Structure 1
Amino acid sequence: MPRTGVEEGSISGAATLRSPTPSVLGKNHGIAGFSFDYLRYRPIPPSDAHRLHHRGHDVHGKNHDETYSLVGGIGILNDLDLYVSAPIVSKSSIEVHDHELLGDKERAAGFGDMRAVLKYRFLKRFVEAAVLAGMKFPTGRTKAKRRSGDKFAAENQPGSGSWDGQFGIAAARRVYRRLSAVTSFEYSLNGEGAEDHKLGDVFRYNLGTSVLLRESGIYPNLSMIAELNHEWALKDHSREAARVMDSGGTSIFVSPGVILDLTGQWSFFWGMSLPVYQNLGGKHEETRFSMTAGTTFAF
């Protein structure tokens, strides 16, 4: 969820699309919105993936993911916000296990895992800073089946089946008039989910900047955003292996985007993430690009 509808007088005014900011909504203020996220993989050719599967590699023919989310947030106190999201998830893949269906397109769709995040701003002099703590709930579908009648692998299901924790800290400041800078650290502590599969914990570091084209409070207005997103994922664990070797790794993305504030309430956003470095563990699909778009209403 991008930064929009923040408390008047924020010393940072930072806007981001892929990472959290320390700005808060203010007591009894809120936002509601819709977002669409698209993640495109660089698929392994079906014949190559089929051979890797028979050699014991953990490959699943990932093609692309689509997530449609309803998101809301409310300012509980002057410096404390609560955010919730409810997604519908569609994961498309290519059949790489069954020789007779090799190369066929498959799709698993359904309700995804809901998420709740608390943000507490503990500093608002010179630098704005906040801590975040959240939980992802196992509300998503985990028993979708392939055309062959077998269940999709845990990684290809709309839901994870796991309880996951999220922790982080974010800091930002207005550097010069309409120019702001923001940085954040996040850690996702993933639990064991469907089919006894545990996704590896993930550490993220983000650095971003945003520029308002007009002075704050003048509408319509446009924020131009640039972010550098670093992600380090540990190995997965499964019932077959204590450590899934074809998982985890390090990725770095450059993420440009824009937020259009039509009024003090209505905002629209768009952004894209492009990989500049990927060093993944074993044999699994790299990310080709991802995109996010949506709208929010502040009240």
Structure 2
Amino acid sequence: MMYDVIIVGGSYAGLSAGLQLARARRKVLVVDAGYRRNRFAATSHGFLGQDGEAPEDIVAQGRAQLMEYPTVTWVHDSAIQARQEQDHFTLRTQHNGEFKSLRVILATGVVDELPKIEGLMERWGKRVFHCPYCHGYELDQGRIGVLATSPLSMHHALMLPDWGTTTLFTNGVFVPDTEQQAQLDRRGVTVESAAVVRLFGERADIELADGRVIALDGLFTMPRTRMASPLAEQLGCEFAEGPMGSYIQTSEIRQTSVPGVFACGDAAIAAGSVALAVGEGVRAGTGTHFTLILAKAGA
């Protein structure tokens, strides 16, 4: 069977893209392995109409709505290889063989590479976060830490006083210069230069190398990211470099440098939130449909 579109990734961006195509009565295959980036978080925030809902509930509701459309097929599997043929694309999965389509949408997401500090991974998505808009409000103007991963962590440090009393842990990554220190002072940010040894306790308390303990209600950090899937590289898509890592370069309609291959969600934008992923999915879905129309019309 030749599908109109194969969507790789059935999280927020992929579901949103699929919905546009399903409503255009296109034959769509969604291939999804079930590893959402925000699977560690108990609640999701900032997405209109779903604020405070569990991420898995948002995905389950979206999938149920998408699967009401008879032209959509869902395969729970990992996509491991993609190649471009003369007039279509072939996708190979780990357990279900190969599938063919006229277009491909990569909603494959990214993997967060967290600082290697004891106790941090266990609190990721619970007391350690990357997005203040997603999780800052729930800290109730409490004690907030920023764990530096690069000089770009200044951005976090200057933002977070709007959500609580903020301490920047430079952790040997960088030393604020005179201008930066003045900015931090004006924002009321405390700078802590001692190395961070571990996180412990029910929240995100920090033990420093000199033995001091600083109690926190939450900690923010800016992890590096990498592609969660090799498909974009296999297909020859171009990448751009963002503040946290590379992402797939796309046009206004979310087409990559490879005609017929589209990308959306965290894999194709230098930011990450449910609301952004859903919006980018709409653009990718409608953009993909537009190129199918043009191809049929001979334009």
Give the TM-score band, short-chain normalised: under 0.3
TM-score (norm 1): 0.24
The higher-RCO structure (CA 8 Å, 6+ apart) is 2
TM-score (norm 2): 0.24
Name whichever structure is richer in helix by fraction.
2
